[in-house]
């Protein structure tokens, strides 16, 4: 009779992931209720998640480290949404651009409170600030490369400064989502997305035909 297969013991990463998931549920509930991440104590979180203080500090140096862990999935999803923009074909039309922007807006809306908490923490936590800047800088570079490729293909205005235009559009998008989308209704979100699409379309693509 073959020996029973033993289930591998969970690794440290597995345990950290499980605890992060538990804490994510608690943090998101508190943020949705209107609380600020900075005001949420470690004691309150570990009590709600039913874990010990010592266990918390085995996996997280402080609340900033926890926030980075909580934001990992959110950041990954936002970057993937942004990549859909950078990957658009040279012969795109305005409806396709708007569809892509709706994906970015939808992803942000699903995780707005966590992203807001990360931005707020960036003001006083240098590790969170560095992580936030990496996301923005990576997004800017991706858009810059999209602009350069489009200029080479004749689908984006040749006179644009690719690097600085990408910087302006990236920061406009990030700040606009942060300031305008948080409490917007579905109808207002649709209007905001259409306005954003119009700005991007007229800045980059309008009146330019790919070769």
Which positions ≥6 away from 45 have C-beta within 8 Å?
Answer: 23, 26, 27, 56, 66
Closest to 132 (Cα-Cα) out of 78, 186, 169, 176: 78
Identify the CATH assignment for 10-60 out of 1.10.3210, 1.10.10, 1.10.150, 1.10.8. Answer: 1.10.10
CATH superfamily of 71-205: Tetracycline Repressor, domain 2 (1.10.357.10)
CB environment 1-39: b (16+ within 10 A), e (fewer): eeeeeeeeeeeeeeeeeebbebbbebbeebbeeeeebee
As a whole number, mean pLDDT of residues 170-182 equals: 92
pLDDT band per the 50, 70, 90 thresholds, residue 179: very high
User: Look-up: residue for tokens 């602009």?
Assistant: 147
The pLDDT assigned to 5 comes to: 61
Tens digits of residue pLDDT in 108-125: 888 888 888 888 888 888
Q: What is the mean pLDDT of the chain?
A: 88
As a whole number, mean pLDDT of residues 157-165 equals: 97
The pLDDT assigned to 172 comes to: 96
As a whole number, mean pLDDT of residues 174-189 equals: 92
Which positions ≥6 away from 13 have C-beta within 8 Å?
Answer: none
Domains of the chain: which residue ranges?
10-60, 71-205
Tens digits of residue pLDDT in 3-44: 556 666 778 788 888 888 888 888 888 888 889 888 899 999
Provide the Cα torsion 158, 160, 191, 27; round to 10°. 120
**Is the torsion defined by CA of 178, 81, 195, 163 positive or negative?**
positive
The pLDDT assigned to 152 comes to: 96
Residue 160 token pair? 């644009």
As a whole number, mean pLDDT of residues 155-170 equals: 97
As a whole number, mean pLDDT of residues 83-100 equals: 93
The pLDDT assigned to 2 comes to: 55
pLDDT band per the 50, 70, 90 thresholds, residue 211: very low
As a whole number, mean pLDDT of residues 166-181 equals: 94
Longest dimension (CA), the chain: 75
Rounded Cα–Cα distance for residues 144 and 103 (Å): 20
């Amino acid at each position: 009779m073959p020996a029973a297969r033993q289930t591998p013991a969970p690794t440290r990463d597995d345990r950290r992931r499980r605890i992060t998931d538990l804490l994510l549920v608690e943090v998101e509930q508190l943020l949705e209720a209107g609380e600020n991440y900075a005001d949420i104590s470690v004691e309150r979180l570990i009590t709600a998640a039913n874990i010990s203080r010592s266990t918390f500090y085995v996996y997280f140096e402080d609340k900033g480290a926890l926030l980075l862990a909580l934001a990992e999935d959110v950041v990954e999803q936002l970057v993937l949404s942004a990549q859909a923009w950078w990957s658009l074909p040279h012969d795109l039309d305005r409806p396709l651009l708007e569809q892509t922007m709706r994906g970015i807006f939808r992803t942000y809306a699903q995780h707005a409170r966590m992203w807001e908490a990360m931005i707020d923490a960036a003001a006083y936590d240098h590790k969170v600030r560095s992580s936030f800047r990496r996301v923005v800088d990576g997004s800017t570079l991706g858009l810059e490369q999209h602009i350069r490729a489009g200029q080479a293909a004749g689908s984006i205005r040749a006179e644009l400064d690719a690097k600085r235009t990408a910087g302006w559009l990236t920061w406009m998008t990030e700040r606009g989502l942060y300031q305008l989308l948080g409490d917007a209704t579905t109808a207002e979100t649709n209007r905001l997305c259409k306005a954003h699409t119009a700005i991007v379309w007229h800045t980059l693509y309008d009146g330019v035909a790919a070769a």
